[in-house]
Amino acid sequence: MFSGVPTLATVLRQHGFKTAAFNSNPFLSAGFGYARGFDVFEDGLLSKRASRLPRTAYTYLAKAVRLVRRTPYMPAPKLVRLAVRWMREECSESTPFFIWVHFMDTHGPYQPKRGIAYLNKVRAERLWRKAVTTPQAITSEERDALKEAYLEEVAFAERYIGVLLKEIESLGRTEDTIIVLCSDHGDGFNEHGFYSHPRYLYEELVRVPLLIYHPSLGERRIVQTPVGLVDIMPTVLDMLGIPPDGLDPVGQSLWPAILRGDTSSLRGWVVMDATPDRLQYIAAIRTNRWKLIVDREKGTRDLYDLVADPGEQNNVAHLYPDVVESLEAQLRDELEQREPLRTFAESPEPEVDAEVLGRLRDLGYIE
């Protein structure tokens, strides 16, 4: 909860942008500090609308809503409706705007789109709970069912992303709008003995899409050098010509690489941290060839040759001790540079109410 750390929303609002966010992940709710910088923030929780209710009544209302809803999150159609309405009402042809829409449909429990919705809900929740708590008990048929439902959810989300992009086009804003499409994580399907996305750093969890559209680009360009989501903020600000003004972003601007194919300024590696809230970290560093995962809780170091072993099945740390030593030193230096963020002026810990706890439980984040 870093209340003083600038975000893309806080910086853009300071530069005259209207800002809005639409999501329904309880971890990304206003109570956890994610509303900073947004003029409008919709997190799908009842708390704002039910603030005058007695706490007991609010708790029972939250439970009732969870039972009635088909999903433990706000689905893509409603998110897109809210986002479209805001853009139509607030974004004239000359209004600079920043909108963040976070879809949860590809998150478990994956629900098939065919058949009876509430029957699908019950079945999906039962299978999801089994996959998360006892992955070893999942049969090959159940794994196939999970994958099939997941792909249905991907197609469903993709459809509504298209609706959102069409709205930007209908507003006449395609030629002056930067569009960033990314994912915060992937999900495992027993590649390493787990489903969902626990605190691991294997490729199925951390290798995610990052697509950036800029109106001035005339052709598609693929950057092969590893980059991270921390690079989005400095990239967008660079594209907009907004100077850092004392900001010290963790990431790097990808704009030269996107615009001209010039990757000379890119680091060539990306760092991942599965435990930013713990002193004994689980972190990794990845280059085009190598991936080193350091688990200080267990005292292990796993090195994977991603060219020869893209599925990360063979730990070759004992074969390449020099590579391990070099990458670990680089990883340690990077994490030490990020350490000030841990001690930055922090907000008080949020009070997590019954609704948030229930939603987190439904999504498999807590037991």
In SS3 terms, 123-174 reads as: HHHHHHHHHHHCHHHCCHHHHHHHHHHHHHHHHHHHHHHHHHHHHHHHCCCH
Query: Averaged over 128-150, what is the pLDDT?
Result: 96
Q: Of all helices (H) and strands (E), which one includes residue 295?
A: strand 290-295
Tally of domains within the chain: 2
Are 273 and 258 part of one and the same domain? no
Q: How far apart are CA 331 and CA 321, in angstroms?
A: 15
Residue 344 resides in a domain: yes
Are 57 and 80 part of one and the same domain? yes
* Residue 318: C-alpha distances to residues 200, 201, 283, 314, 329 (Å): 21, 20, 19, 11, 17
**CATH number of domain containing 254:** 3.40.720.10
Q: Above 70 in pLDDT, residue 364?
A: no
Query: Averaged over 257-276, what is the pLDDT?
Result: 92
pLDDT of residue 69: 65
User: Which residue range forms the structural domain that includes residue 206?
Assistant: 8-263
Residue that is last in its domain, among 201, 233, 263: 263
pTM reported for the whole predicted model: 0.87
Are 135 and 247 part of one and the same domain? yes
Q: Above 70 in pLDDT, residue 358?
A: no
Residue 3 resides in a domain: no
Q: Above 70 in pLDDT, residue 57?
A: no
Are 200 and 305 part of one and the same domain? no
Beta-bridge partners for 210: 182
Q: Which of these, 294, 312, 272, 363, lies nearest to 191 by C-alpha position?
A: 312
pLDDT of residue 349: 54
Summarised one tens digit per residue, pLDDT across range 164-192 is: 999 999 999 999 999 999 999 999 999 99
